[in-house]
Structure 1
Amino acid sequence: MSSHKQPILVFGATGQQGGSVTHALLAAGWHVRALVRDPGSPKSAALRDAGVDLVPGNLADPESIREAMRGVHGVFSVQPSSGQGALYGVSDEDEVRYGITIADIAVESGAGHLVYSSTNAVGGGPTGMGHFDSKARIEAHVRALPIPTTIIRPAAFMEMLVMPGFGLDEGRFNFFMRPDQSMQLVAVEDIGRIVAAIFADPVRFGGATLDVASDSVTGQDLEALFTEAAGRPVTYARFTDDVLASNPFLAKLTDLVDAARLSGNADLAALREINPGLLSFRSWLAGSGRKAFTEALGASGAWSYGHA
């Protein structure tokens, strides 16, 4: 348990990654502060009830970021991106600007440690996809900062697999890999636990870039695991050529899996030493992912991720 009296500022605390980090830091005994757009929203109220200090503001307002960063020990930085679709209305340039602004104000405010969440697609040159290459630009800026920094590169979220549109409601599942091709996945709750461990050991993790995943699965594994969890057959197949031809976004992601840019290079054994409770996809499906999976079995709809 941390006894550090200075708070850690968490961006995106009402979202997936930031929410996971917030809960893990609270469980580890940290004081947590969050920048929130609407302090009166139900999600903000839940954070306040959990003991989080809320500061009203938004990523486009540097003064609110400065206020939120006053006197912090550390900062967890994550930004919305164009890859999350029209809901957020964020361009790639917006994301870069927000990420760099947070980093620079962390230095200005005397923060002791900045943890930036990127993506495992970064590394090895441009991907040709704006919402990945924007993170490479932020990474380059973060590495040059004169304070301790850590970059994490999460794999594809397990939570993404139970979004509508992959065919689970029709007894099938279509995804990026060939049936015998493997891809790493991460449970969002594991991101929080790993980030809490990073803040607890800045000497070990300062200056590090860490690929983060929870498990590695093939298409055949997904077929077996979904069938087991559903109690009825769920067949697996890669997206068809017709689907990929009609959806350039999916096609580019599939190409990146084939090029080993999205298949993942995380050292799962080393991550288990950091987080002994690292979740397998089977255990995630049986636990925190169960509700979303059950809903996906009965939820039709188009695949909407990334449609900005």
Structure 2
Amino acid sequence: MRNGMYRDDRTQSKGTVLVFGATGKQGGAVTAALRARGWAVRALVRNTAREEVGRLAATGVEIFAGEFADMASVENAMAGVDGVFSVQPNSGSAGSGIADSEEVRIGKRVADIAMQSGVGHLVYSSAGIISRGKTGLPNLDTKIEIEEHIRSLDLASTILRPATFMDLFTLPGFGLDQGTFSFFVHPDQPFQAIAVEDIGKIAAQVIEHPGVHAGRTIEIAGDELTGLQLAEALSDAADRCVAYHRFPDELLEGNEFLRRNAKLFEDGRATGNANIAALEDEFGLLWRVSDWLAGPGKPALQAALTSDERPLALR
């Protein structure tokens, strides 16, 4: 450790990228993809003593101590980098403890600092659900405000809008331990999904080719399937029958947040707008849900199958 950061002096890189959320799913996937492509990566973390931070440092990632409450630490971590991957904590994520206004403040300030620091390219991870405009859900509409601010700056930027994360299909509490899976779509309704590994893969390629991607807003997904097809994929991967059910009306009627999300899926606003064939032409093959469940998603699926957490739809 040196000057408050870990460093691997043996790193031979194409440049340096500051990745926010590097200990989380999206940021972690971007970090791994960038390192695999020969980029040096910096990560801003609140607690450098955490085990996952040590693992990051062991792969050659520079660890900068800091947090969003101290924007001077963000400026320090961003000094001299070539690119930034920006993703913010969100009030819709369990345990985030962040207000919607704070997400907007952080997202805008990160972009401002990137411009002031002379960063060559900012990649912001937004959400596919906002592609048709405001949703009426504050924790989603925050991203519209951040997107608009980024576009207003004299800063080369690319906005990625991921579809539903495949990780949702392996979470405890959705009924897998009882042989069911419940979600927002009707059984025969198609919707899109993406693996976080593919978010990392796409983001790394976007960062590597700013001349091609700067100024773009890219809807990203790796697969499109119905609720019934998801049940088939889950059943095959679990080696047991898993039935699919849309969240019951009585649950939705009693929970405004779930009800409004379900309406967005029913209207098609949240089901995804990505051109998957075009994405694969540009970025290479992407994970299909069935293959992901049998591969990277398998450990989480097995854990969910044995979880004793009550199904979400029965709470």
Q: Sort the TM-score into its range (normalised by shorter chain).
A: over 0.9
After superposition, the C-alpha distances for 1:82-130 in whole angstroms (9 at most, x for unaligned) are 0002x12100001000000100000010000000000001133311111
1:4: Cα distance to partner?
A: 5.4
Q: Following the alignment from structure 1 to structure 2, what is the Cα–Cα distance between the partners of residues 215 and 196?
A: 20
- After superposition, residues 1-308 of structure 1 pair within 5 angstroms as 5-85=14-94, 87-302=95-310
Q: Is contact 2:27–2:87 with CA below 8 Å preserved after alignment?
A: yes
1:275: Cα distance to partner?
A: 2.8
Q: Is contact 1:122–1:132 with CA below 8 Å preserved after alignment?
A: yes
Cα distance change on mapping 1:294 and 1:75 into 2, 3 Å: same
1:302: Cα distance to partner?
A: 4.5
1:274: Cα distance to partner?
A: 3.0
Q: Secondary structure at the match of 2:76?
A: helix
After superposition, the C-alpha distances for 1:225-267 in whole angstroms (9 at most, x for unaligned) are 1111122211111111111112222111110111211100011
Q: Secondary structure at the match of 1:82?
A: coil
1:273: Cα distance to partner?
A: 2.1
Q: Following the alignment from structure 2 to structure 1, what is the Cα–Cα distance between the partners of residues 234 and 187?
A: 14
Q: Secondary structure at the match of 2:272?
A: coil
After superposition, the C-alpha distances for 1:203-224 in whole angstroms (9 at most, x for unaligned) are 1100000011111110110121
Q: Following the alignment from structure 2 to structure 1, what is the Cα–Cα distance between the partners of residues 54 and 149?
A: 34
Q: Following the alignment from structure 1 to structure 2, what is the Cα–Cα distance between the partners of residues 266 and 57?
A: 35
Q: Secondary structure at the match of 1:150?
A: strand
Q: Following the alignment from structure 1 to structure 2, what is the Cα–Cα distance between the partners of residues 180 and 124?
A: 23
Aligned-partner residue type, residue 204 of structure 1: V
After superposition, the C-alpha distances for 1:139-190 in whole angstroms (9 at most, x for unaligned) are 0001111121000001111001211111111011111111110110110000
- TM-score by length of structure 1 reads 0.95
Task: Give the stretch that moved more between structures: 74-83 or 4-13.
Answer: 4-13
Gaps of 5+ in 1: none
Q: Following the alignment from structure 1 to structure 2, what is the Cα–Cα distance between the partners of residues 296 and 124?
A: 33
Cα distance change on mapping 1:91 and 1:141 into 2, 3 Å: same
1:55: Cα distance to partner?
A: 0.6
1:303: Cα distance to partner?
A: 6.2
Q: Following the alignment from structure 2 to structure 1, what is the Cα–Cα distance between the partners of residues 180 and 133?
A: 35
- TM-score by length of structure 2 reads 0.93
1:10: Cα distance to partner?
A: 0.3
The residue number in structure 1 matching 2:8 is: none
1:59: Cα distance to partner?
A: 1.1
Q: Is contact 2:127–2:160 with CA below 8 Å preserved after alignment?
A: yes
Q: Following the alignment from structure 2 to structure 1, what is the Cα–Cα distance between the partners of residues 308 and 191?
A: 25
Q: Secondary structure at the match of 1:58?
A: coil
Percent identity at matched positions?
46
Q: Following the alignment from structure 2 to structure 1, what is the Cα–Cα distance between the partners of residues 244 and 130?
A: 28
1:301: Cα distance to partner?
A: 1.9
Which stretches of structure 1, 4 residues or longer, exceed 4 Å deviation after superposition? none
Q: Secondary structure at the match of 1:47?
A: helix
